[in-house]
Amino acid sequence: MQQPRPDNPEFGRWLRRTMTREDFEALPADDVEALRRFGVRKSLPAGARLFRQGDRPEAIFIIENGEVELAYEARYERLTVMILRDGSSLGDLPVMLGTPYSYTAVTRTPTTALGFSTQTIETLVEIHPHICFRWLRLVSGRLERAQRRLVELAGKTAFEQVVHFLLHEVDERNSPTVQLTQGEVAATLGIGRQTVSRVLAQLDRQGVVKRARGRIEIRSVDRLRDHVRH
């Protein structure tokens, strides 16, 4: 699966497919406590924006409590990439790589977050190099996992790709309902819509999934996993 350009409408779906909540894991509690005095605490109401897609990176955030939605905004659509909760960090990749934010971060509930500016991060490298090294390892792990997930799809049949995708969505959203159309699944995986439709029809006949308008209901996660094991 080739990464689309950020200005490609499919970029948001690519992000959604390659990210997991593990990618937003914050530092251990002891490290966060040591850094707390360097951060700026923000108490935000629901609907507040932490940063906007395309903006130059200004800060890394650690969510102390609350819920934040990451959304990719294209000209004619808005796609939820991830929902983050207490203990997650966000913005570290753009800050460390000096690249624009790939998505917009908006609070879904009243949220408290610690913000660390780029200047603060540069200072922390000198004051707490061991902590910053652990943070860098987290970021490196995120890149490695994303690469591994892409490699896992390489060489797989369309059927296997769709099954992996459905399991990924169920695990990440913690819900048996995949809120995506068949066209969105096809666009995310880079395969034909008719191919996705045939795979889902086969799984439907087996009683593993049920197709509905704008969503896919997973009737048996265990039976879906069986297609990965064999």
In the predicted model, what is the mean pLDDT of the chain?
A: 82
**pLDDT tens-place string over residues 42-88:** 999 999 999 999 999 989 999 999 989 888 877 777 777 777 888 88
Long-range pairs of 173-177 with CB within 8 A, sequence gap ≥ 24: 173/83, 176/217, 176/218, 176/219, 176/221, 177/215, 177/216, 177/217, 177/218
Say what the pLDDT of residue 174 is.
Answer: 79
Report whether 67 contacts 55 (CB < 8 A): no
* Amino acid code (one letter) for 182: Q
Closest CA to 60 of 116, 112, 10: 116
For β-strands 89-90 and 59-65, DSSP reports them as: antiparallel
Structure tokens at 139: 């970021």
Instruction: Catalogue all structural domains in the chain, each as residue range(s) with its CATH number.
Output: 11-147 (2.60.120.10), 155-229 (1.10.10.10)
Structure tokens at 131: 């902590």
Structure tokens at 141: 């792990």
Say what the pLDDT of residue 193 is.
Answer: 87
Whether the pTM exceeds 0.75: the reply is no
3-state secondary structure of 115: strand
For β-strands 68-73 and 104-107, DSSP reports them as: antiparallel
Per-residue pLDDT of the chain (230 residues; tens, 9 = 90+): 455 555 555 666 666 666 666 666 777 788 888 888 888 999 999 999 999 999 999 899 999 999 898 888 777 777 777 778 888 888 888 888 888 888 899 998 999 999 999 888 888 888 888 888 887 777 777 777 666 666 666 668 889 888 988 887 887 777 888 888 888 788 667 678 899 999 999 999 999 999 988 889 999 999 998 887 65
The Cα 172–Cα 166 span in angstroms is 10
Q: 214: which DSSP letter?
A: T
Report whether 101 contacts 54 (CB < 8 A): yes
The Cα 6–Cα 74 span in angstroms is 10
The Cα 111–Cα 69 span in angstroms is 11
Say what the pLDDT of residue 21 is.
Answer: 64
Say what the pLDDT of residue 112 is.
Answer: 94
**Is residue 101 exposed (0-12), middle (13-18) or buried (19+ Cβ within 10 Å)?**
buried
